[in-house]
Amino acid sequence: MKTIFSGIQPSGTLTIGNYLGAMQHFIPLQEDHHCYYCIVDEHAVTVPQDRLELRRNIRSLAALYLASGIDPEKTTLFIQSEVPAHTQMGWIMQCISYIGELERMTQFKDKATGSKEAVSSSLLTYPPLMAADILLYKTDIVPVGDDQKQHMELTRNLAQRFNNKFNDILTVPDVSIPKSGARIMSLQDPTKKMSKSDSNEKGFISMLDEPKKIVKKVKSAVTDSEGIVKFDKENKPGVSNLITIQSACTGKSVEEIETAYEGKGYGDFKQDVADAVVSVLEPIQKRYYELIDSEKLDEILDDGADKASFAANKMLRKAKKAMGLGRVR
Ligand code: TYM
């Protein structure tokens, strides 16, 4: 049975980008894979976080994973900082990473703006920690959205580098990026990725937005004045993004959607996009509110941390031994 690993940062309530690009695809994989899904809180603190808000977001993300269909009987769901092997393996990965390759990461370049005196060094060393997350579990496949491609290439390189330098113990993982929904764009600026940290709330749909709010946000999404529902990313980025969202929510193909709105304006189309999003999110929200304050959630996370620690510590011991760290007994 192949092993799956993926992680999401608890840095705000997830957007439909996170859901359609990543989380949605985690669910069916549980049936015939060994899955680890992680709340990567140590990644979230690479930028300043409010202590209480972070704690709330961690719990909220755990509840969202479960509400979306993660089954703790089949999957190990856990919080990164509760499994210390991650930062230990992260250090090992940092030791074999080069500053040059880390500085070339586009996410680092995007986030590390301004004076270097005020940029946290963890923004630079974030990808080796992500590699550690994945490599600790002999992961075969990592399902992620399109924006993680470069981090995944680095992870593969680091695994190969470690295996060549020390001992052939790490599995080189493959990345799995969905055909539809891998890059959901902002509703207000469709040339930018939809992001939970966008300062303009109208740019993203949160997984916990009420139906009314979702309809409002979709209706005010930036499109164009042509009135033709056609997929053309370059010339019609707003409309194309809405087509992608509808397609990822309903499973309909782009062609089917284009045909359905031939000769109609954007009014019906936008209403249907909003309805499609609401029908995906409504049942998730209902389960979310049942779970968020439950003791069951804590039991699941305790159990997940135990199971993940067991597997991760085994690999960490092997990696330390391969490098000559500590004593052999
Ligand atoms: P994060 O928390 O930014 O995003 C979580 C997942 O959501 C995907 N995603 C999107 N997909 C489509 N459209 C969007 N607009 C969109 N925004 C986000 C991301 O690609 C991701 O799959 N570095 C990772 C977290 C991480 C990780 C890992 C992932 C840490 N360790 C190990 C996989 C394996 C991140 O910042 O994701």
Amino acid at 126: Y
Ligand 1 atom with the shortest distance to the CA of 193: 15
Report the distance separating Cα 201 and Cα 96, nearest Å: 40
pTM for the model: 0.96
Ligand 1 atom with the shortest distance to the CA of 196: 17
Distances (CA, A) of 121 to 31, 111, 117, 157, 312: 39, 12, 10, 21, 25
Find the residues whose C-beta lies inside 6 A of ligand 1: 5-9, 17-18, 21-22, 40, 43, 130, 133-134, 142, 144-145, 147-148, 151, 182-184, 193-194
- pLDDT bin (cut points 50, 70, 90) of residue 300 is very high
Q: If you write DSSP's letter for every residue of 16-49 in order, what string do you get?
A: HHHIIIIIHHHHHHTTTSEEEEEE-HHHHTTS--
> Mean pLDDT score of the chain, rounded to an integer?
96
**Mean pLDDT for the stretch of residues 288-294:** 96
Q: What is the pLDDT of residue 115?
A: 76
User: What is the SS3 assignment for 201-245?
Assistant: HHHCCECCCCHHHHHHHHHCCCCCCCCCCCCECCCEHHHHHHHHH
Per the annotation, binding residues for L-tryptophan are: 133
Ligand 1 atom with the shortest distance to the CA of 11: 2
Residue holding tokens 């961690």?
A: 58
For this complex, say whether ipTM is above 0.90. Answer: yes
Q: How far is the CA of 82 from the centre of ligand 1 (A)?
A: 20
In tens, the pLDDT along 174-193 reads: 999 998 889 999 999 999 99
Which of 16, 47, 144 maximizes ligand 1 atoms within 8 Å of its Cβ, making it the mutation to test the pocket?
144
Retrieve residue 235's tokens: 């010339």
The catalytic site residues sit at 111, 193, 196
For the four alpha carbons of 228, 231, 235 and 238, in that order, the dihedral sign comes to positive
At residue 56, the 3 state secondary structure works out as helix
Q: What is the pLDDT of residue 126?
A: 96
Find all residues with CB under 8 Å of 137, minimum gap 6, and list them. 3, 5, 36, 308, 311, 312, 315
Q: What is the pLDDT of residue 248?
A: 95
On the question of pLDDT at 87 being above 80, the answer is yes
Q: What is the pLDDT of residue 101?
A: 97
Q: What is the pLDDT of residue 117?
A: 81
